[in-house]
Amino acid sequence: MIKNLFIKYPENTLFLIALSGGIDSVVLLFQLLKWKKKYKKINIRAIHINHNLNKNSKRAEEYCSKICKKHQIPLIITDIPKQTKYLDGPEQYFRNKRYKIFKKFLLKNEILLTAHHLNDQCENIFLSFKRRRGISGLSGIKFSNIIHNVHVVRPLLNYNKKQIISWAKKKKLKWIEDKTNKDITYDRNFIRYKILNTLDVHWPYFLKNCAISIEILSKEREVLDFLIKKYLLNNMFIDGRLYILKFKNILNHLQYSLLKLWLFHESKIFPNFNILYRIKNEIIPQDDKKNKKIIFHQYIIYKYHFSLYCIEHKKDIKKNNLIWKNLFFPIKLPENLGFLIGLKKHKHGNKIPYPKTNEIVSVNFQTCNNIYLNNKKTKKKNKKYMAKKQNSTLV
């Protein structure tokens, strides 16, 4: 069942399996154990993330611990605190938390293995319709991709649920049934039990045809992405901002595709249509004086001087006050903002008076309409002051 994993990654020997204790991940684990007998160099670790959703959560954790101990598989056990409110829904919340945990525990050159299968593919198609996704959502889950800098491979993706259950029963495997998987208040479960089961009875070939359609869409998406990337590379600066001066001259639907690819490039998160619509109709048309911003997960999107910016939201540092005692040495700024370098003569940067000998420089992170110069009571306007030409420069 997982032969493709070793064909596509013959040099990889480190694998971390996401083990929930359910039938899919248990089958994947025992498939790995089967192949480990053939390929002795394979190193398998497992990670179990307790979502604390019900009483079965503890049972699943104990079962994962039991089978890993029996087969001498190193196991990482951690959990996700349960919330009362979810900004983007519980499924998205848990997904984001899981990948942060995976990233934390993955070793160098280790591949994360998840037990997604063909039924999951079809469920995602319907979820994409519900979320107003375009070709990116409809082209399905990939066998392998990078999510939040985590290399994920899904060895069971070409097998349906019936095949997985059949193999588990044949090998007399045990697993834990998650009661939340029966709760149709969750979108995925509603699709699984109310839609796909009905379609499978009426059209037994539906899942197979669904997989073929996904493959076709995936190839068409690759062609489209290639063409859009060419335009994107010609209109994107090295710092990631998108130049939009000629944006209105291109086709309307192409604008959405460019925004989607640009936003994914900067955030590694696929935006929904609502976010793209707001950027196109609220951010791009405005002038710089309005300074309207859109929050997209942990990122801030705004426009300035014919460019769109997608900046990761940093902690509030307005109250920070750094003392720069010696300008011969660069000073490091907080929140990975870089360094300040003091130069007497330089063609770049804002021109302000170079400090006198032994004069201490204070670095603040909030500007207003007025600033004080040399501790004097008189105020000068920022714009007028910064426009004055000086012989010395602080970069």
- Three state DSSP letters for the chain: CCHHHHHHCCCCCEEEEECCCCHHHHHHHHHHHHHHCCCCCCEEEEEEEECCCCCHHHHHHHHHHHHHHHCCCCEEEEECCCCCCCCCCHHHHHHHHHHHHHHHHCCCCCEEECCCCHHHHHHHHHHHHHCCCCHHHHCCCCCEEEECCEEEECCCCCCCHHHHHHHHHHCCCCCCCCHHHHCCCCHHHHHHHHHHHHHHHHCCCHHHHHHHHHHHHHHHHHHHHHHHHHHHHHHECCCCCEECCCHHHCCHHHHHHHHHHHHHHHHCCCCCHHHHHHHHHHHCCCCCCCCCEEEECCEEEEEECCEEEEEECCCCCCCCEEEECCCCCCEECCCCCCEECEECCCCCCCCCCCCCCCCCEEEECCCCCEEECCCCCCEEEHHHHHHCCCCCEEC
pLDDT given for residue 384 in this prediction: 41
- pLDDT tens figures, 223-263: 888 888 888 888 899 888 999 988 888 888 889 889 988 99
pLDDT (0 to 100) of residue 346: 62
In sequence order, what are the beta bridge partners of 109?
Answer: none
Q: Which residues contact 187 (CB under 8 A, 6 or more apart)?
A: 91, 127, 130
Q: Distances in Å between the alpha carbon of 351 and those of 216, 313, 345, 346? A: 57, 28, 10, 9
The string of pLDDT tens digits covering residues 168-194 is: 999 999 999 887 778 888 888 899 989
Confidence of residue 50 (pLDDT cuts 50, 70, 90): very high
pLDDT of residue 139: 83
pLDDT reported for residue 395:
34
Give the closest residue to 110 by CA, choosing from 9, 31, 29, 3. Answer: 9
Please state the length of the chain. Answer: 395
Q: Which of 5-9, 35-39, 50-54, 125-129 has the lowest mean pLDDT?
A: 50-54
Segment 181-210 shows an average pLDDT of 88
pTM over 0.75: no
Average pLDDT over residues 339-346: 73
Closest alpha carbon to 114 in 65, 73, 152, 162: 152
The mean per-residue pLDDT over the stretch 363-373 comes to 60
Q: In whole angstroms, how far apart are CA 270 and each of 3, 285, 349?
A: 30, 23, 35
Contact predicate 121/199, CB 8 Å = no
Residue 178: CB atoms within 10 A of its CB come to 19
Question: Which pLDDT band holds residue 390 (cuts at 50, 70, 90)?
Answer: very low
pLDDT tens, residue by residue, 142-158: 899 988 889 999 999 99
Lowest mean pLDDT, pick from 182-191, 293-302, 326-335, 373-382: 373-382
Binding-site residues from annotation for ATP? 20-25
What is the per-residue pLDDT for 114? 96
Dmax (CA) for the chain in angstroms is 86
At 32 the pLDDT is 95
Structural domains in the chain plus CATH codes: 3-188 (3.40.50.620), 236-308 (1.20.59.20), 321-390 (no CATH)
Per-residue model confidence (pLDDT) at position 177: 87
Task: Find, among 273, 122, 96, the residue nearest to 198 by Cα.
Answer: 122
For residue 68, the model assigns a pLDDT of 96
The amino acid at 285: P
Tokens of 315: 């902690």
Mean pLDDT in residue range 97-109: 92
pLDDT recorded at residue 386: 38
Average pLDDT, the chain: 84
Binding-site annotation: residue ranges: 20-25
Q: What is the pLDDT of residue 393?
A: 34
Contact (CB, 8 A) for 113 and 84: no
Mean pLDDT for the stretch of residues 344-348: 62
pLDDT band for position 318 (cuts 50, 70, 90) = confident
pLDDT of residue 49: 94
Residue 211 pLDDT > 50: yes
Question: Which pLDDT band holds residue 335 (cuts at 50, 70, 90)?
Answer: confident
Q: Is the pLDDT of residue 367 over 90?
A: no
Can you tell me which residue has the tokens 């994360």? 112
